[in-house]
Structure 1
């Protein structure tokens, strides 16, 4: 039962949206940013997904979702790590995220809580910040360390 991580393809949109719906996560903007998503596949089925929304030298980490049967197996951590590595390779300076349920999960990847007012202006174009994610969500930032 090998897990395969790969970049999302257009045909994955329905499965990604189904995972997000099952987890109660917003769907707005997913289709627009699907090329920046990474999905996890096991035995031909999508079992997890996570994506980036790129805005200049920053990105919003969004839609980190793992199917019920795969939770607790490190799949989410693999996806987040892959996206942090992609951000580093692409020369991004910082990743941001909004969460209502996982503020204690993301510090292991270098994310720290920040005030919503500290978000870069260009991120306000995101559907997540325009109402898809509640105003009560915790805002977090990870400074992407450049490789020497």
Structure 2
């Protein structure tokens, strides 16, 4: 087995790993696409999140395709996504409330579409990603969050 692994190209090795993850988890490219499309349909109808996305995304198909590649890389380790998520999110005017709503919709969607174990894997990864992005955005706004602290933007008309 080790000799065969040494003879594999990186692409073949990644494909084998992805197939093993799919076999173990039940998560497939088709499942990822169903979750991504259903989730973003909810986002586009959400009063808090829709304006954030509408300000940036005008053609949804490329974004959905990119999000399928992202989640494929995250969950199946396919390496399909080559972007920089933090750079894309750092300038957004979002805070803990946005991340909480994003997670609520994402976890709800995963539970509606996936069996319990894959839904749990989607949700666990989403929580890590949301936490990382929230910390990065807070840091970009001059705040270093402590354990358990959340990033809250001052609301217009209110004193911080």
TM-score for the superposition, normalised by structure 1: 0.33
- The structure having more radius of gyration, on CA atoms, is 2
The structure in which a higher percent of residues are strand is 1
The structure in which a higher percent of residues are helix is 2
TM-score for the superposition, normalised by structure 2: 0.32
